[in-house]
Amino acid sequence: MLGEKELSELPTEELKEYTLKLTRYARMLEKTAYTDPLTGLRNRHALEHDLKEFKKKERTSKDKEKTHAFLIVDVDNFKGVNDNYGHGTGDHILRRLAGALEKNTRVSRGQDRVYEGRSYRWGGDEFAVLLVDINPEDVPYIAKRIVNGIKSQAEKSVKALERLWRMKGYEPSDTERNLLNDIRNVSVSIGVTLFEEQYKDVFRRADEALYKVKQKGKNGYHIA
C-alpha cells in the first residue's frame, strides 16, 4: 500500500487505477469476511450485520408496516453421518443441502410477490434464512417448500449414488448401504419468527419455535 507522499506523486490516470484496485481489494476482503468457506453461503457474521441494518436505517411510516421473517433451519439426523462416515462425507452433504436451501428460498408468488431469501450458514449443521418484506401469509408456503426441498435433495443424492453404482457394476458394502439409509433420513426442522423494523429477541423466538418442531418429531416447521 502506497504512502501519502507516493500517492501525491502519482499521475492522475495511475491514481485512478490504484484507487480502483484498492476498491476491488476491499470488496474481496468484505466478501471473504461474510462468506462461509464450506458452503459459499453468507455466514453468521453476515447475518448479524444484515439484521443490524434494520436498526440503523431510519424507517418511514410505510417501512414500519413491512414484515420480515427469520428462520433457523436445523438439519435432522446429521450427527450420525459425520460420526459414521467422516467429515468429508458430511461436508459434501452440507454443500448439497446449502444449494437446495438457496434454491427453495427463491420464490415467486404471483407477478407482484417475488422473494429472494437470504440464506446463511448459522454454524455446524444449522442454517438460517432472512425473508425481507414478506407477506406473512406466504411464510408457511416458503417454510414448507424448504422442508420438502431438502427431503427431495436427500432422495436425489441417494438415487444418484445408486445409479452410479449400477453403471459401474459396483457392489456396495454394508457400510455404504447404511450411508444411503442415513442420507434418506436427513431432513430439516425450521423455527420461524416474524418481525418488523425491530429484531429484538428474534434468535430466541426462532429457537423456541425450532424446539417445538423437534418435540413433534422433526421434519417440519413452527411459526412463533
Contact 196/68 with Cβ under 8 angstroms? yes
98: exposed, middle or buried (Cβ count in 10 Å: 0-12, 13-18, 19+): buried
Written as one letter, the residue type at 219 is: N
Residue 18 lies in a domain: no
Residue 23 lies in a domain: no
Torsion of CA 42, 46, 50, 51, to 10 degrees: 110
User: How many structural domains does the chain have?
Assistant: 1
Which residues form the domain of 217?
44-223
What's the CATH code of the domain at 150?
A: 3.30.70.270
Residue 103 lies in a domain: yes
Residue 180 lies in a domain: yes
What pLDDT, on a 0 to 100 scale, did the predictor assign at position 163? 92
Residue 11 lies in a domain: no
Residues 6+ apart with CB under 8 A from 40: 95, 98
Residue 53 lies in a domain: yes
Q: What is the pTM of this model?
A: 0.82
Residue 6 lies in a domain: no
Torsion of CA 176, 178, 181, 186, to 10 degrees: -90
Tell me the H-state helices in 133-200: 139-168, 174-184
Contact 128/72 with Cβ under 8 angstroms? yes
Q: What does the pLDDT profile of the chain (224 residues) look like in tens digits?
A: 555 656 465 667 765 665 666 556 556 545 668 899 999 999 999 998 888 876 665 455 455 678 899 999 999 999 888 888 888 888 989 999 999 999 999 887 766 677 888 999 998 999 999 998 889 999 999 999 999 999 999 999 899 889 999 998 999 999 888 999 999 999 999 999 998 866 678 999 999 999 999 999 999 999 98
Residue 26 lies in a domain: no
